[in-house]
């Protein structure tokens, strides 16, 4: 299987490169590093990327950011950071990628546990993550040629200790558990699911 | 209680005006009609609206649209219609309105059952509705001065028979049931909830 990992240099991405690389051909992509560069904020960049990358069976997206800060001072512009980056970046990887992916291929997007368990300062995070999961549920019933789509929703991961103070009482999950979530999505039969890793 | 209804001339909005008007002072707002005009696509228009409207205890939003169409031809621009309208319109009514609303006031937003039950051609609807519900969940833990926020999620309503073909097997809910959902949100004690009407 030829698997594209977008966000391959990230905390989760690099573990996925190592894990999927054992049995599959991995293509790494990132904004500045990897086999291919792609700016997920730009549909034109995504289209150019797919034209260039050649045949593929899976796209795993672990890229995109969002605004983290107090609701009391949050603005329209703050809120839209996550819509433009984490949400539309991943959505456009699918909307455009559906025309390039091999039959029976799969898309795996990344949401996060803040979707189900809001945290302080996360007023712009919960909606973005829920939107990603909603897109997965909605797109699954319309993708053609047996193409699947799922989301992985990790909670606080052990390799991001800087976020511990924002998740009181939450036990970080191992990177191995996170990798297994993506393996279920890419290698399993399901579609339309959010795979919770917590 | 002084209750602002944004989208007051809509199918749901006009029922809310009649129902809340029995016991409360209702202020109607819309893009072209009502006591006040507000363009929910524009944060500047929303800010001007709140400066003008005077003291209020509740905002009920039943306004905003989204793209409805096949995933296979959906574009970035299509998807963003709902982000700019139904999502950011309602989010900005809260982000800006939190600075104007009375102590212990409430915001009530509108999502829709497509959030939980995707339909064909709804690839851009499910994510918008989930994002609204996620915003409600996330914002509820940070709103100050006892201000509450909830969403009402109606399914197909009896007064919109034109949508029946897109909801196979779904029994339309009565407008009375929908009104009761909004009454629970505005008059009840809860916050952070999505009140499902189906």
A–B interface: beta-carbon pairs under 8 A: 125
Rounded distance, CA A84 to CA A64, Å? 9
Check CB contact of B69 with chain A, cutoff 8 Å: no
Mean pLDDT of B146-160: 97
Q: What is the tens place of the pLDDT at every residue in A50-85? A: 999 999 999 999 999 999 999 999 999 999 999 999
Does residue A68 sit at the B interface (CB-CB below 8 Å)? no
Of B72, B120, B135, the CB nearest to A127: B135
What is the arithmetic mean of pLDDT over B90-111?
98
- Cβ of B71 within 8 Å of Cβ of A128? The answer is no
Residue A182 has a pLDDT of 98
* Mean pLDDT value across chain B: 97
Q: B168 and chain A: CB distance < 8 Å anywhere? A: no
CA dihedral A36, A18, A95, B86 (to 10 degrees): -110
Eight-class DSSP state of A111:
-
Mean pLDDT of chain A: 97
Residues of chain B found within 8 Å of residue A88, distances taken between Cβ atoms:
76, 79-80, 83
The per-residue pLDDT for range A101-132, each reduced to its tens digit, is 999 999 999 999 999 999 999 999 999 999 99
Residue B117: other Cβ atoms inside 10 A: 14
Residue numbers of A between 28 and 47 with CB closer than 8 Å to B: 43
ipTM tops the 0.95 cut: yes
Among residues of chain A, what percentage have pLDDT more than 70? 100
Indicate yes or no: pTM above 0.80. Answer: yes
Name the pLDDT band for B73 (thresholds 50, 70, 90). very high
Q: pLDDT band for position A30 (50/70/90)?
A: very high
Mean pLDDT calculated for residue range B102-109: 98
The number of residues making up chain A comes to 198
Task: Point out the residue among B72, B115, B142 whose CB comes nearest to the CB of A134.
Answer: B115
């Amino acid at each position: 299987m030829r698997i594209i990992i977008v966000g391959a240099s990230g905390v989760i991405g690099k573990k996925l490169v190592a894990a999927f690389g054992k049995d599959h051909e991995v293509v790494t992509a990132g904004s500045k590093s990897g086999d291919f560069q792609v700016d997920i904020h730009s549909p034109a960049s995504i289209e150019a990327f797919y034209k260039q990358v050649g045949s593929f069976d899976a796209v795993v997206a672990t890229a995109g950011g969002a605004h983290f800060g107090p609701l009391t001072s949050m603005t329209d512009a703050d809120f839209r950071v996550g819509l433009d980056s984490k949400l539309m970046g991943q959505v456009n990887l699918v909307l455009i990628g559906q025309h390039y992916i091999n039959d029976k291929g799969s898309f795996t997007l990344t949401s996060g546990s803040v979707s189900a368990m809001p945290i302080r300062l996360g007023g712009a995070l919960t909606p973005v993550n829920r939107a990603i999961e909603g897109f997965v549920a909605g797109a699954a019933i319309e993708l053609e040629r047996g193409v699947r789509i799922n989301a992985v929703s990790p909670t606080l991961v052990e390799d991001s200790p800087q976020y511990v103070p924002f998740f009181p009482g939450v036990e970080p999950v191992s990177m191995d558990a996170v990798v297994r979530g993506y393996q279920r999505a890419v290698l399993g039969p399901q579609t339309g699911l959010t795979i919770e890793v917590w």
